[in-house]
Amino acid sequence: MGIINYDSISALDSDFRLLFNGVYSQTQDPFEKCAMRVSSNGSSENYVLFNDFPGMREWKDERVYRGADASRFTIANKDWESSFQVFRNEIEDDRASFYSAFIEGMAQKARRHAGTLVMDAAINGFASTSEYGAAYDGESFFSAAHKLGGGTVSNTTTNPLTSTSFFSAWTEMASLAGSDGKSLGIRPTDLFCGPAMLQTAREIVESPNLVSGGAAIANQLQGLVNLNIVPDLIGAHQNKWFLMDLSAGVKPFIFQERRGIEFNTDMHHMFHKKIWRWGADLRANVGYGMWQYAYGSNA
């Protein structure tokens, strides 16, 4: 770059912004689909979720009014940031271009932040003391003590992922019924697991055959759900797996956005410290939505 002045720094700032915004807009977030996106207008938002949805009945004489079994909760927005700094000498010596790969990675992670929070909420959904709170009914999001249709139901297990545990979870979700005894119409669509479970998961939902008693039999589970590999399901979480129904407008999680991503620069430290700083930030948060649409194994 050579000479450093307002025009040269403005040009560098423009290049950084174009790179960040371009990569950000082209990046896909594979796990954002698990959440309802809600626009926020304040520091927090209040929600009302109904525990049951009564179906239609024949209208013979008068209407039958049933009370709305609803729960209320609040999700507070949080501030999120990712920042870096470049020293004057690096700019003067034409080394600023080395930050291109860094900015690309920064933009990709920023775009996937919503999905990262959603998966973190899922991983921590087995405890009512999670930083994301409890489910709207006061239980942990994945719990064996949820109340539905006048009874107690479970959306969790500690069993590892097998064809038996998978189909048991799928059946439990698909069998959920409301207070009128009729199905909620839930049909799981997506299986989520970590890299260590990839082979097992593919054998269950993608292989045309299963081995039983040493013989190959047709796999009735093939194509039943979509398979999603979650990079963060590693280490202590590598055996966890989740099953979700993402076919409806209602989702298991809520992504609440107060302000979308912004990429800005700070030049106030240039004179005294020979530093230019850039950063991305947003205001948003994730919370738990309808537990009926998710099933989790804390294996």
- The type of residue at 58 is E
Contacts of 36-40 spanning 24+ positions with Cβ under 8 A? 36/249, 36/250, 36/251, 36/253, 36/254, 36/255, 36/289, 37/114, 37/255, 37/257, 38/254, 38/255, 38/256, 38/257, 39/257, 40/77, 40/256, 40/257, 40/258, 40/283, 40/284
Confidence of residue 69 (pLDDT cuts 50, 70, 90): low
**Mean pLDDT along residues 236-245:** 97
- Cross-strand bridge partners of residue 236: none
- Do 38 and 254 meet the contact criterion of CB atoms below 8 Å apart? yes
Residue 202, pLDDT above cutoff 90: yes
In the chain the first and final C-alpha atoms are separated, in Å, by 55
pLDDT in tens, 142-171: 999 999 878 899 999 999 999 999 999 999
- pLDDT in the model for residue 215: 82
**Mean pLDDT along residues 86-112:** 87
pLDDT in tens, 23-51: 999 999 989 999 999 999 999 999 988 77
**Mean pLDDT along residues 247-267:** 92
Gap between the Cα atoms of 277 and 173, Å rounded? 49
Confidence of residue 273 (pLDDT cuts 50, 70, 90): low
Gap between the Cα atoms of 2 and 237, Å rounded? 50
**What's the pTM?**
0.88
**3-class secondary structure per residue, 41-57:** CCCEEEEEEECCCCCCC
Domain boundaries, the chain: 6-51+71-297
Gap between the Cα atoms of 82 and 110, Å rounded? 8
pLDDT in tens, 139-150: 999 999 999 878
What is the CATH code of the structural domain delimited by 6-51+71-297? 3.90.1690
- pLDDT in the model for residue 58: 82
Report the SS3 class of residue 64.
coil
Of residues 3 and 262, more confidence is placed in 262
